[in-house]
Amino acid sequence: MFSRILVANRGEIAVRILRACGERGLRTAAVYSDADRAALHVRYADEAYRIGPPPARESYLNIPAIIAAAQASGADAVHPGYGFLAESAHFAEAVLAAGLAWIGPSPDAIRAMGDKVAARRTMIAAGVPVVPGTDVGLSDDEATSAAIAIGYPVLVKASAGGGGKGMRVVNTPAELPKALAAARREALNAFGDETIYLEKLISRARHIEIQILADSHGNCIHLGERECSIQRRHQKLIEESPSLALTPELRAEMGAVAVRAAQAVGYSNAGTVEFLLDRSGRFYFLEMNTRLQVEHPVTEMVTGIDIVKEQLAIASGRRLRWDQAEIAFKGHAIECRINAEDPYNNFLPQTGLITSLLEPTGPGVRLESSIYAGWEVSLFYDPMLAKLIVWGETRAEAILRMRRALAEYRIGGVHTTIPFHQQMMDNIRYQGAQFDTQFVDGPDGFRMSAAPSRDLARVAAIAAALVEHERGQEAVILGVPCGEQREQVSSWRQIGRTNALRTR
């Protein structure tokens, strides 16, 4: 096993990895931008190194700065987390060239699955079903002809994309030119590559992903599925495991296909194979995420396997500890992403100071967070603040537990998506698992109920002023001169005095 790990990331995932390393007895090093100087992951690590100013391109995407920090810390391995450079074959090669271990798949595997069209070709050769689509590098005229051949609706997708970036739904020929331009522009800004391709849009599909683990000795297993259909603009909002859409037979079939997909590119470490499942039970390869997923905790909750610790073990050359037959699933887990967004205002991103924080706890509740009271939510990074995960013996119990946990959760100072999740847990269609990827964005999908009054803060201030006025009146009754320093009196004594006055 390694002795010191550098975590090349920030936020809740950096804290998550640091904790796993701590449980393994490993020393840790963090990196931070100027905006994250007081961040929680900086406090958790044994050492921390500044890597640049707030913009991600000058800090968390700054490969030379991160490599220099790893070398200065004496780290012998780098964990990239997710996002930023986690799926950069160039970064993985730079880590290895610096004489450090890379906690992830090989650069070749990242490159093979990072190019979505190349991945499609590899999957077709491996006998994995894929969504009908085109090759890359289409001109506008070629895209127009291809869309007609595939049949509307279609998806315009960035070849180097992920997380919904550079993706547009096109329902009619008239929408295509604008969608092509927007997808290219967004892909260029996000990935530095404007190459796009087209795929057939599978309507009313469910988004199912399979978690896999593979070692460098040729062993590969899957850890079941995650249901990721509750999403907005291709960004996941709620994930759970298992999916009620899968039978045991379909789960085994999809798991076997996911393992075959990973083996087709010589994959090692943790990864996720994503599928679209249509209403007839047919499934299609969507993409493979060559990294740790945001929603990995739900798999950990139902399998009892710590995926991050397994990443560390695999990267150090160890064999998998299980055969497929030994993987068992217990209960049901749900994860809600808590974002700094206003769900009553079209999920507008929020910034500002977190003025107060009350976090949920109790049986079956897990919280992965990177915030604290006094933390400034920055405009430079992803708006996700935390992930709230619950486990129950049944899905119904998990929903009830999530409702309770959300009711306990209080984040003051910024609007968050907690109200969205509360309303979702109360939604009958969600409770009955009657949803698909259009459940939030679709014309007949979920809609937030009326927002509570925005005057609550003003009402609270008025109430506080009234309380203070009442205290002043009480001071007069008790004979305390105005402006005189009052002695410290216990709350019990104050209540006793008040009650005595009332009985006179």
Is residue 439 within 8 A of residue 445, CB to CB? The reply is yes
Taking the C-alpha atoms of residue 269 and residue 267, their distance in angstroms, rounded to an integer, is: 7
Could you tell me which residues come within 8 angstroms of residue 73 by beta carbon, excluding any fewer than 6 positions away? 4, 6, 29, 47, 49
Is residue 398 within 8 A of residue 333, CB to CB? The reply is yes
Is residue 187 within 8 A of residue 195, CB to CB? The reply is yes
DSSP 331-345: SEEEEEEEESEETTT
Q: What is the pLDDT of residue 353?
A: 97
Taking the C-alpha atoms of residue 92 and residue 394, their distance in angstroms, rounded to an integer, is: 40
Q: What is the pLDDT of residue 290?
A: 96
Cis peptide before 55 (omega within 30 of 0): no
> Which active-site residues does the annotation give?
291
The secondary structure of 359-419, three-state, reads: CCCCCCEEEEECCCCCCEECCCCCCEEEEEEEEECCHHHHHHHHHHHHHHCEEECCCCCHH
Taking the C-alpha atoms of residue 21 and residue 433, their distance in angstroms, rounded to an integer, is: 36
Taking the C-alpha atoms of residue 81 and residue 368, their distance in angstroms, rounded to an integer, is: 14
Is residue 211 within 8 A of residue 288, CB to CB? The reply is no
Single out the residue of 58, 67, 81, 78 nearest to residue 11, CA to CA: 81
Backbone dihedral angles phi then psi of residue 388, each to the nearest 5 degrees: -105, 120
CA 289 from centre of chain? 13
**Tokens 């001169």 found at:** 481
Single out the residue of 378, 320, 370 nearest to residue 351, CA to CA: 378
- Tokens read off for 312: 């560390």
Per-residue pLDDT of the chain (504 residues; tens, 9 = 90+): 799 999 999 999 999 999 999 999 999 999 999 999 999 999 999 999 999 999 999 999 999 999 999 999 999 999 999 999 999 999 999 999 999 999 999 999 999 998 877 898 899 999 999 988 888 778 899 999 999 999 999 999 888 766 677 899 999 999 999 999 999 999 888 778 888 899 999 888 999 999 999 999 999 999 999 999 999 988 999 999 999 999 999 999 999 999 999 999 999 999 999 999 999 999 999 999 999 999 999 999 999 999 999 999 999 999 999 999 999 999 999 999 999 999 999 999 999 999 999 999 999 999 999 999 999 999 999 999 999 999 999 999 999 999 999 999 999 999 999 999 999 999 999 999 999 999 998 888 898 988 776 566 666 667 777 777 777 776 666 665 555 544 555 666 666 666 665 554
Q: What is the pLDDT of residue 88?
A: 95
Q: What is the pLDDT of residue 470?
A: 75
Q: What is the pLDDT of residue 117?
A: 78
- Separation in Å, CA 129 to CA 116, 211, 323: 14, 18, 25
Strand 47-52 relative to strand 77-79, pairing: unpaired
Which helix (H) or strand (E) is 213 found in, with range? Answer: strand 206-214
Cis peptide before 363 (omega within 30 of 0): no
Taking the C-alpha atoms of residue 397 and residue 486, their distance in angstroms, rounded to an integer, is: 51
Single out the residue of 342, 341, 210, 368 nearest to residue 287, CA to CA: 210
Taking the C-alpha atoms of residue 220 and residue 256, their distance in angstroms, rounded to an integer, is: 10
Output DSSP code: residue 133. Answer: B
Q: What is the pLDDT of residue 450?
A: 80
Taking the C-alpha atoms of residue 214 and residue 268, their distance in angstroms, rounded to an integer, is: 5
Q: What is the pLDDT of residue 163?
A: 64
Enumerate the β-bridge partners of residue 335: 239, 389
SS3 label, residue 40: helix
Q: What is the pLDDT of residue 429?
A: 95
Look up residue 427 and give its amino acid: N
Is residue 122 within 8 A of residue 265, CB to CB? The reply is yes
Radius of gyration of the chain (CA): 26
Which helix (H) or strand (E) is 107 found in, with range? Answer: helix 107-114
Taking the C-alpha atoms of residue 184 and residue 37, their distance in angstroms, rounded to an integer, is: 34
Taking the C-alpha atoms of residue 6 and residue 31, their distance in angstroms, rounded to an integer, is: 8
- Separation in Å, CA 217 to CA 111, 266, 318: 20, 10, 8
Q: What is the pLDDT of residue 151?
A: 92
- What domains sit in the chain, N to C, each tagged with a CATH number? 4-103 (3.40.50.20), 104-129+203-330 (3.30.470.20), 132-200 (3.30.1490.20), 332-442 (3.30.470.20), 456-502 (no CATH)
Taking the C-alpha atoms of residue 114 and residue 162, their distance in angstroms, rounded to an integer, is: 9
Identify the burial level of 64 via C-beta atoms within 10 angstroms of its C-beta, where 0-12 means exposed, 13-18 middle and 19 or more buried.
exposed
- Tokens read off for 113: 């699955």
Taking the C-alpha atoms of residue 113 and residue 107, their distance in angstroms, rounded to an integer, is: 10
